[in-house]
Amino acid sequence: MSGTTRSSANLAPRRKRLIFQAWHRGTREMDLLMGMFTDEHIDTFTDAELTEFETLLNVPDTVLYRWITEQDEVPDNHRCAILDKIISFHKSRVP
């Protein structure tokens, strides 16, 4: 089971693939964090944001999680608008 609650019908193959990759990170915490964010925002990603998101999906879970939870500083070569949106999304869900 992927965990996604959204339909990927009518989405371009690139966006469908990103939904799948976001929900199949390797750790349940990152599946939930990235998957829920993707479900909510995939329709609004620009082409540039899709590319940024693809790059972030190649970052190991442990590293990406520490960036998103602001435990580690994000290196300049990975700082991007989509990562800022993911961090804001995470913050909005933390009680």
Contact predicate 12/5, CB 8 Å = no
pLDDT 10s digits, 16-70: 999 999 999 989 999 999 999 999 999 999 999 999 999 999 999 999 999 999 9
Nearest-Å Rg of the Cα atoms of the chain is 12
Over residues 7-24, the mean pLDDT reads: 86
Calpha distance 90→88 (Å, rounded): 5
Q: Domains along the chain?
A: 13-93 (1.10.150.250)
pLDDT recorded at residue 10: 74
